[in-house]
């Protein structure tokens, strides 16, 4: 027997029913982003590995352990994108988008790749939606990003959402905090996991987001960044808090929120769904005021977030939200016999200018075709046979009432459109 293949571990197929829900979610996201003045950007799935080493950060677990990195035929080192932000910044610099407007506001959606241990809701190919705002240090931009994500999640029907918020400080506060954390951890090294020993050597702050129980116990006693924030960083955080409260966002400060990437400065946030739990955030992000410079650009403050489609899907399931997808068919065309197929094919083409039309591919008995039509839930079935062709008519059966009409071939499109009352195909 020939071998049958399976999707690779950590990947999943999005089958038609689910895909139609995904499309609704993506459309909702695009609609909201556009209302907020964002434009879409699409970047390649892979980049030079260095984009992520310098962007996502060399010391992060993502870059150290989780990237799909390979050499192409010319020996170039490439990586599948583990996140979109470094790619967006690379594109921003490559195309001089900073010259077009003072601030660039973009959104994106698509697959990302991380070689992580697959688990509930964790995939090696996963899908994200996100935004980036490049060119402003204003706390209004941070607040807008949070409110936008909140509005989107609410719009698709999620309830019981909460935002946790923190500040990682500016360069100045961060250096100070890093020193404090370093000396604190030095005294607790023996209680940390093996990975954290490496993290400690590369960047002590990375220990703060270890998921291991014993490390969490140590981290719980670590000094908080709030203690060392400078006044401008404090003011920035206060302003973000004040603004999102105006936007109706429920938030609280969480001093333990550090996020797993190197580039964040000042604001970091996560939105989580109470029923899914705090460790399964639906999305998050923050400010990254140094990243543009780290990728070879000018000093340019920026902020953004990303949200996970798979996590959002799970949360919708938990909340029992049934997104109404309209995949129904309006009209079923049932040809009877060879010559009728040709007519049916032509008619289907005409009707498809405005209506959703199902046409069978193979010759089948009329009662079988009608059975398929009712399974598809169509409103009208158009029956064409040699008798109808010679009389220049078609028979139209109203599947809800069972009534049958004779309609002139030339007028059938108008007849159906009138009765289906402006089915919108948007
Ligand atoms: Zn500061
Ligand atoms: Zn650890």
Contacts of 10 (CB under 8 A, 6+ apart): 115, 116, 118, 122, 123, 124, 125
pLDDT score for 9: 94
Task: Tell how far the Cα of 177 is from the centroid of ligand 2, in angstroms.
Answer: 19
- In this structure, the answer to whether residues 94 and 159 fall within a common structural domain is yes
**Tokens matching residue 183:** 């000396």
Q: What is the pLDDT of residues 313-369, one digit of tens each?
A: 999 999 999 888 777 899 999 999 878 999 999 999 999 998 999 998 888 899 999
Ligand nearest to the CA of 185: 2
Q: What is the pLDDT of residues 393-420, one digit of tens each?
A: 999 999 999 999 999 999 999 999 999 8
**pLDDT-above-70 percentage for the chain:** 98
Ligand nearest to the CA of 172: 1
Task: Tell how far the Cα of 212 is from the centroid of ligand 2, in angstroms.
Answer: 5
- In this structure, the answer to whether residues 303 and 407 fall within a common structural domain is no
Residue 207 DSSP code: G
**Tokens matching residue 54:** 């310098």
- In this structure, the answer to whether residues 311 and 370 fall within a common structural domain is no
Residue 426 pLDDT grade (very low, low, confident, very high; cuts 50, 70, 90): very low
Give 4's strand partners: none
Q: b/e for 117-154, b at 16 or more Cβ within 10 A?
A: eeeeeebbbbbbbbbbbbbbbbbebbbbbbbbbbbbbe
Q: The domain containing residue 388 runs over which residues? A: 331-414
Ligand nearest to the CA of 167: 1
- In this structure, the answer to whether residues 141 and 256 fall within a common structural domain is yes
User: How far is it, in rounded angstroms, from Cα 58 to Cα 53?
Assistant: 5
Ligand nearest to the CA of 265: 1
Give the number of other CB atoms < 10 A from CB of residue 375: 9
**How wide is the angle at C-alpha 276 spanned by C-alphas 272 and 282, nearest 5°?**
35
Sign of CA dihedral 209, 215, 217, 222: negative
- In this structure, the answer to whether residues 235 and 120 fall within a common structural domain is yes
Is residue 81 domain-resident? yes
Q: Where are the alpha helices (DSSP H) in 220-290?
A: 231-246
Is residue 325 domain-resident? no
- In this structure, the answer to whether residues 354 and 313 fall within a common structural domain is no
Domain boundary among 293, 318, 343: 318
Among 178, 265, 193, 167, smallest CA distance to 223 is for 178
Give 303's strand partners: 133, 287
Distances (CA, A) of 273 to 152, 159, 220, 277, 383: 13, 7, 23, 6, 51
At 359, is the secondary structure helix, strand, or coil?
strand
- In this structure, the answer to whether residues 289 and 399 fall within a common structural domain is no
Ligand nearest to the CA of 234: 1
Contacts of 413 (CB under 8 A, 6+ apart): 350, 351, 353, 354
Query: What's the length of the chain?
Result: 426
**Tokens matching residue 199:** 């993290």
148 contacts 131 by C-beta, under 8 angstroms: yes
Task: Tell how far the Cα of 255 is from the centroid of ligand 2, in angstroms.
Answer: 18
Residue 257 pLDDT grade (very low, low, confident, very high; cuts 50, 70, 90): confident
Ligand nearest to the CA of 235: 1
Q: CATH number for the domain including 354?
A: 3.40.50.800
Is residue 10 domain-resident? no
Task: Tell how far the Cα of 87 is from the centroid of ligand 2, in angstroms.
Answer: 29
Q: b/e for 228-247, b at 16 or more Cβ within 10 A?
A: bbeeebeebbebbbebbeee
- In this structure, the answer to whether residues 160 and 64 fall within a common structural domain is yes
Domain boundary among 253, 285, 318: 318
Give the number of other CB atoms < 10 A from CB of residue 30: 16
Among 284, 280, 286, smallest CA distance to 311 is for 280
Is residue 323 domain-resident? no
- In this structure, the answer to whether residues 150 and 274 fall within a common structural domain is yes
Is residue 183 domain-resident? no
What is the arithmetic mean of pLDDT over 31-46?
98
What is the arithmetic mean of pLDDT over 244-270?
89
Task: Indicate the number of domains in the chain.
Answer: 2
Residue 99 DSSP code: G
Give 308's strand partners: 128
306 contacts 264 by C-beta, under 8 angstroms: no
Is residue 263 domain-resident? yes
Task: Tell how far the Cα of 390 is from the centroid of ligand 1, in angstroms.
Answer: 84
Q: CATH number for the domain including 309?
A: 3.30.930.10
Distances (CA, A) of 205 to 175, 179, 262: 10, 9, 9
- In this structure, the answer to whether residues 284 and 355 fall within a common structural domain is no
Residue 129 pLDDT grade (very low, low, confident, very high; cuts 50, 70, 90): very high
pLDDT score for 422: 57
pLDDT score for 68: 97
- In this structure, the answer to whether residues 314 and 335 fall within a common structural domain is no
- In this structure, the answer to whether residues 342 and 308 fall within a common structural domain is no
Is residue 284 domain-resident? yes
Task: Tell how far the Cα of 114 is from the centroid of ligand 1, in angstroms.
Answer: 32
Is residue 257 domain-resident? yes
Give the number of other CB atoms < 10 A from CB of residue 340: 22
88 contacts 132 by C-beta, under 8 angstroms: yes
Q: What is the pLDDT of residues 71-97, one digit of tens each?
A: 999 999 999 999 999 999 999 999 999
pTM: 0.90
Contacts of 354 (CB under 8 A, 6+ apart): 413, 417, 423, 425
């Amino acid at each position: 027997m020939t071998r049958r293949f399976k999707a690779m571990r950590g990947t999943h197929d999005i089958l038609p029913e689910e895909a139609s829900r995904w499309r609704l979610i993506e459309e909702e996201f695009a609609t909201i982003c556009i209302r907020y003045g964002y434009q879409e950007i699409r970047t390649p799935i892979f980049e030079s590995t260095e984009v992520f080493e310098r962007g996502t950060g060399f010391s992060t677990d993502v870059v150290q352990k989780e990237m799909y990195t390979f050499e192409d035929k010319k020996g170039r080192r490439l990586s599948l994108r583990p996140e979109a932000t470094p790619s967006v910044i690379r594109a921003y610099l490559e195309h001089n988008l900073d010259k077009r407007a003072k601030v660039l506001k973009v959104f994106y959606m698509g697959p990302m790749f991380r070689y992580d241990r697959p688990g509930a809701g964790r995939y090696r190919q996963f899908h994200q939606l996100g935004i980036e705002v490049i060119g402003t240090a204003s706390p209004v931009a941070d607040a807008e990003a949070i409110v936008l994500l909140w509005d989107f999640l609410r719009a698709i029907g999620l309830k019981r959402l909460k935002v946790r918020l923190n500040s990682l400080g500016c360069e100045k506060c961060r250096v100070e905090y890093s020193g404090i954390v370093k000396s604190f951890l030095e005294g607790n090294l023996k209680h940390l996991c093996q990975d954290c020993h490496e993290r400690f050597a590369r960047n002590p702050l990375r220990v703060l987001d270890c998921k291991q129980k014993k490390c969490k116990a140590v981290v719980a006693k670590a000094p908080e960044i709030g203690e060392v924030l400078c006044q401008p960083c404090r003011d920035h955080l206060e302003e973000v808090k004040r603004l999102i409260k105006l936007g109706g966002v429920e938030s609280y400060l969480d001093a333990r929120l550090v996020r797993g990437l190197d580039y964040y400065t000042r604001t970091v946030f996560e939105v989580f769904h109470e029923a899914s739990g705090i460790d399964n955030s639906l999305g998050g992000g923050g400010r990254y005021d140094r990243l543009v410079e780290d990728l070879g650009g000018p000093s340019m403050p920026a902020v953004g977030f990303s949200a996970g489609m798979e996590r959002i899907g799970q949360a919708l399931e938990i909340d029992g939200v049934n997104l109404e997808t309209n995949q129904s068919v309006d009209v079923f065309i049932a040809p009877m016999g060879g010559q009728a197929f040709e007519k049916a094919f032509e008619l289907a083409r005409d009707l498809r200018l405005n209506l959703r039309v199902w046409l069978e591919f193979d010759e089948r008995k009329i009662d079988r075709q009608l059975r398929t039509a009712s399974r598809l839930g169509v409103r009208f079935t158009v029956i064409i046979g040699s008798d109808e062709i010679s009389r220049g008519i078609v028979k139209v059966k109203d599947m809800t009432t069972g009534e049958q009409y004779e309609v002139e071939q030339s007028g059938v499109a108008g007849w159906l459109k009138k009765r289906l009352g402006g089915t919108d195909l948007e």
